[in-house]
Protein backbone atom coordinates (compact mmCIF):
# COMPACT_ATOMS: atom_id res chain seq x y z
CA UNK A 1 0.00 0.00 0.00
CA UNK A 2 1.48 3.32 -1.07
CA UNK A 3 1.85 6.07 1.54
CA UNK A 4 0.80 9.54 0.36
CA UNK A 5 1.69 12.69 2.32
CA UNK A 6 -0.85 15.53 1.85
CA UNK A 7 0.68 18.95 2.53
CA UNK A 8 -2.36 21.23 2.21
CA UNK A 9 -3.32 23.93 4.73
CA UNK A 10 -7.00 24.06 3.71
CA UNK A 11 -8.47 21.36 6.00
CA UNK A 12 -11.53 20.86 3.79
CA UNK A 13 -9.50 20.19 0.63
CA UNK A 14 -6.98 18.10 2.57
CA UNK A 15 -9.69 15.87 4.01
CA UNK A 16 -11.46 15.43 0.68
CA UNK A 17 -8.17 14.23 -0.86
CA UNK A 18 -7.54 12.03 2.20
CA UNK A 19 -10.92 10.29 1.93
CA UNK A 20 -10.58 9.78 -1.82
CA UNK A 21 -7.11 8.27 -1.45
CA UNK A 22 -8.45 5.85 1.16
CA UNK A 23 -11.15 4.71 -1.27
CA UNK A 24 -8.37 3.87 -3.73
CA UNK A 25 -6.64 1.77 -1.02
CA UNK A 26 -3.78 4.21 -0.46
CA UNK A 27 -2.43 5.08 2.98
CA UNK A 28 -2.83 8.89 3.21
CA UNK A 29 -1.37 11.19 5.85
CA UNK A 30 -2.56 14.76 6.47
CA UNK A 31 0.04 17.31 7.57
CA UNK A 32 -1.13 19.32 10.56
CA UNK A 33 2.14 20.87 11.80
CA UNK A 34 3.39 23.21 9.10
CA UNK A 35 6.49 24.23 11.05
CA UNK A 36 7.83 20.66 11.11
CA UNK A 37 6.97 19.28 7.69
CA UNK A 38 10.47 17.87 7.18
CA UNK A 39 10.29 15.93 10.45
CA UNK A 40 6.92 14.47 9.47
CA UNK A 41 8.28 13.54 6.05
CA UNK A 42 11.24 11.70 7.54
CA UNK A 43 9.02 9.85 10.01
CA UNK A 44 6.44 8.83 7.40
CA UNK A 45 8.79 8.00 4.49
CA UNK A 46 6.00 8.60 1.93
CA UNK A 47 5.90 7.11 -1.57
CA UNK A 48 4.28 10.29 -2.95
CA UNK A 49 3.83 13.89 -1.77
CA UNK A 50 0.89 16.13 -2.73
CA UNK A 51 2.20 19.62 -2.04
CA UNK A 52 0.41 22.97 -2.00
CA UNK A 53 2.43 26.12 -2.76
CA UNK A 54 0.73 28.62 -0.42
CA UNK A 55 1.49 27.27 3.05
CA UNK A 56 2.00 28.76 6.53
CA UNK A 57 5.60 29.50 7.60
CA UNK A 58 7.39 28.34 4.41
CA UNK A 59 5.86 27.81 0.97
CA UNK A 60 5.73 24.61 -1.08
CA UNK A 61 8.76 25.62 -3.16
CA UNK A 62 10.85 25.74 0.00
CA UNK A 63 9.70 22.30 1.16
CA UNK A 64 10.15 20.73 -2.27
CA UNK A 65 13.72 22.00 -2.36
CA UNK A 66 14.26 20.61 1.16
CA UNK A 67 12.93 17.17 0.22
CA UNK A 68 15.12 17.05 -2.88
CA UNK A 69 18.23 17.40 -0.72
CA UNK A 70 17.75 13.85 0.57
CA UNK A 71 14.91 12.17 -1.36
CA UNK A 72 13.76 11.41 -4.91
CA UNK A 73 10.15 10.78 -3.82
CA UNK A 74 7.66 11.90 -6.53
CA UNK A 75 6.04 15.27 -5.75
CA UNK A 76 2.83 16.60 -7.30
CA UNK A 77 2.15 20.29 -6.71
CA UNK A 78 -1.49 21.23 -6.15
CA UNK A 79 -2.12 24.96 -6.26
CA UNK A 80 -4.59 27.71 -7.14
CA UNK A 81 -1.74 29.61 -8.78
CA UNK A 82 -2.15 29.73 -12.54
CA UNK A 83 0.88 31.71 -13.70
CA UNK A 84 3.24 29.83 -16.01
CA UNK A 85 6.16 31.01 -13.87
CA UNK A 86 4.71 29.19 -10.85
CA UNK A 87 4.51 25.95 -12.85
CA UNK A 88 8.05 26.45 -14.15
CA UNK A 89 9.29 27.16 -10.61
CA UNK A 90 7.57 24.02 -9.30
CA UNK A 91 9.26 21.87 -11.94
CA UNK A 92 12.64 23.55 -11.45
CA UNK A 93 12.46 22.93 -7.71
CA UNK A 94 12.09 19.21 -8.37
CA UNK A 95 8.36 18.71 -8.73
CA UNK A 96 7.13 15.91 -10.99
CA UNK A 97 3.70 17.28 -11.90
CA UNK A 98 1.38 20.25 -11.30
CA UNK A 99 -2.40 20.31 -10.81
CA UNK A 100 -4.31 23.60 -10.72
CA UNK A 101 -7.20 24.18 -8.30
CA UNK A 102 -10.06 23.60 -8.62
CA UNK A 103 -9.32 20.08 -9.83
CA UNK A 104 -11.16 16.86 -10.54
CA UNK A 105 -10.53 14.05 -8.05
CA UNK A 106 -10.53 11.62 -10.98
CA UNK A 107 -7.73 13.58 -12.67
CA UNK A 108 -5.80 13.72 -9.39
CA UNK A 109 -6.06 9.95 -8.96
CA UNK A 110 -5.09 9.31 -12.58
CA UNK A 111 -1.95 11.39 -12.08
CA UNK A 112 -1.17 9.69 -8.73
CA UNK A 113 -1.60 6.22 -10.23
CA UNK A 114 0.53 7.07 -13.26
CA UNK A 115 3.41 8.60 -11.35
CA UNK A 116 3.48 5.78 -8.78
CA UNK A 117 3.44 3.19 -11.56
CA UNK A 118 6.29 4.91 -13.40
CA UNK A 119 8.33 5.43 -10.25
CA UNK A 120 7.96 2.09 -8.50
CA UNK A 121 6.71 -0.61 -10.88
CA UNK A 122 9.23 0.08 -13.65
CA UNK A 123 11.94 0.67 -11.09
CA UNK A 124 11.30 -2.72 -9.54
CA UNK A 125 11.41 -4.51 -12.89
CA UNK A 126 15.01 -3.38 -13.37
CA UNK A 127 16.12 -4.94 -10.11
CA UNK A 128 17.68 -8.37 -9.70
CA UNK A 129 14.98 -9.17 -7.18
CA UNK A 130 11.40 -8.42 -6.13
CA UNK A 131 10.59 -8.16 -2.44
CA UNK A 132 7.32 -8.19 -0.50
CA UNK A 133 6.66 -8.96 3.16
CA UNK A 134 10.28 -10.15 3.55
CA UNK A 135 9.94 -12.67 0.72
CA UNK A 136 12.61 -12.13 -1.94
CA UNK A 137 12.15 -13.42 -5.49
CA UNK A 138 15.64 -13.69 -6.96
CA UNK A 139 15.30 -12.86 -10.65
CA UNK A 140 18.79 -13.99 -11.65
CA UNK A 141 18.69 -17.23 -9.62
CA UNK A 142 15.02 -18.12 -10.18
CA UNK A 143 14.40 -18.94 -6.52
CA UNK A 144 12.72 -17.48 -3.45
CA UNK A 145 14.24 -16.58 -0.10
CA UNK A 146 12.44 -15.96 3.17
CA UNK A 147 14.53 -15.32 6.25
CA UNK A 148 16.98 -18.24 6.34
CA UNK A 149 15.06 -20.46 3.92
CA UNK A 150 15.75 -20.69 0.18
CA UNK A 151 13.68 -22.73 -2.33
CA UNK A 152 14.13 -23.20 -6.09
CA UNK A 153 11.27 -22.59 -8.52
CA UNK A 154 10.48 -24.18 -11.87
CA UNK A 155 10.36 -21.89 -14.89
CA UNK A 156 6.57 -21.70 -14.84
CA UNK A 157 6.42 -21.18 -11.07
CA UNK A 158 8.91 -18.35 -11.35
CA UNK A 159 7.00 -16.61 -14.15
CA UNK A 160 3.72 -16.83 -12.25
CA UNK A 161 5.13 -15.54 -8.98
CA UNK A 162 7.08 -12.82 -10.78
CA UNK A 163 3.90 -11.44 -12.35
CA UNK A 164 1.93 -11.65 -9.10
CA UNK A 165 4.68 -9.86 -7.13
CA UNK A 166 5.19 -7.27 -9.87
CA UNK A 167 1.48 -6.44 -9.59
CA UNK A 168 1.22 -6.92 -5.83
CA UNK A 169 -1.91 -5.52 -4.17
CA UNK A 170 -3.72 -5.80 -7.52
CA UNK A 171 -5.81 -8.70 -8.80
CA UNK A 172 -4.19 -10.66 -11.64
CA UNK A 173 -6.62 -12.74 -13.69
CA UNK A 174 -5.96 -16.31 -14.80
CA UNK A 175 -6.12 -15.11 -18.40
CA UNK A 176 -3.36 -12.56 -17.72
CA UNK A 177 -1.15 -15.25 -16.19
CA UNK A 178 -1.68 -17.67 -19.07
CA UNK A 179 -1.13 -14.97 -21.66
CA UNK A 180 2.14 -13.96 -19.99
CA UNK A 181 3.35 -17.57 -19.98
CA UNK A 182 2.35 -18.18 -23.61
CA UNK A 183 4.16 -15.02 -24.71
CA UNK A 184 7.33 -16.20 -22.98
CA UNK A 185 6.95 -19.60 -24.70
CA UNK A 186 6.11 -21.41 -21.46
CA UNK A 187 3.02 -23.05 -22.95
CA UNK A 188 0.40 -23.63 -20.27
CA UNK A 189 -3.31 -24.39 -20.09
CA UNK A 190 -5.91 -23.75 -17.39
CA UNK A 191 -5.31 -27.04 -15.55
CA UNK A 192 -1.54 -26.58 -15.62
CA UNK A 193 -1.93 -23.08 -14.16
CA UNK A 194 -3.98 -24.48 -11.27
CA UNK A 195 -1.31 -27.09 -10.58
CA UNK A 196 1.48 -24.51 -10.66
CA UNK A 197 -0.36 -22.15 -8.32
CA UNK A 198 -0.85 -25.04 -5.89
CA UNK A 199 2.86 -25.92 -6.07
CA UNK A 200 3.87 -22.31 -5.42
CA UNK A 201 1.53 -22.14 -2.44
CA UNK A 202 2.97 -25.37 -1.08
CA UNK A 203 6.52 -24.01 -1.32
CA UNK A 204 5.48 -20.74 0.31
CA UNK A 205 3.66 -22.62 3.09
CA UNK A 206 6.79 -24.70 3.73
CA UNK A 207 8.60 -21.39 4.31
CA UNK A 208 5.90 -20.14 6.70
CA UNK A 209 3.93 -18.00 4.22
CA UNK A 210 0.69 -19.93 3.84
CA UNK A 211 -1.50 -16.87 3.04
CA UNK A 212 0.91 -15.07 0.71
CA UNK A 213 -1.29 -15.59 -2.38
CA UNK A 214 -5.05 -15.08 -2.08
CA UNK A 215 -7.70 -16.33 -4.51
CA UNK A 216 -10.35 -13.83 -5.57
CA UNK A 217 -13.36 -15.90 -6.63
CA UNK A 218 -14.22 -15.47 -10.33
CA UNK A 219 -11.50 -12.79 -10.60
CA UNK A 220 -8.02 -14.27 -10.16
CA UNK A 221 -5.22 -14.03 -7.63
CA UNK A 222 -3.70 -11.28 -5.51
CA UNK A 223 -0.69 -10.81 -3.26
CA UNK A 224 -2.06 -8.36 -0.66
Return d(Cα 146, Cα 209) in angstroms, integer.
Answer: 9
What local confidence, expressed as pLDDT, does residue 48 receive?
A: 96
CA neighbor of 166 nearest in space, from 133, 205, 120: 120
Q: What is the pTM of this model?
A: 0.57
What local confidence, expressed as pLDDT, does residue 185 receive?
A: 47
What local confidence, expressed as pLDDT, does residue 176 receive?
A: 86
Q: Which residues of the chain fall below pLDDT 70?
A: 121-127, 183-188
> What CATH architecture applies to the domain 3-125?
3-Layer(aba) Sandwich (3.40)
**Does domain 129-222 bear CATH number 3.40.50.11890?**
no
What local confidence, expressed as pLDDT, does residue 212 receive?
A: 94
Q: What is the pLDDT of residues 50-65, one digit of tens each?
A: 999 999 999 999 999 9
Spell out the domain ranges in the chain: 3-125, 129-222
User: Which residues 6+ apart lie within 8 Å of 192 measured at CB?
Assistant: 156
Amino acid sequence: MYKVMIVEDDPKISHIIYEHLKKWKYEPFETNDFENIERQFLALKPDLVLLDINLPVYDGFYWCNKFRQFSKVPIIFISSRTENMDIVMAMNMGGDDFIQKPFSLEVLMAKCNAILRRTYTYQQEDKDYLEHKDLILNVSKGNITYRDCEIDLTKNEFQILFLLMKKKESIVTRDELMQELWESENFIDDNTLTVNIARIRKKLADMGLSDFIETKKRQGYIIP
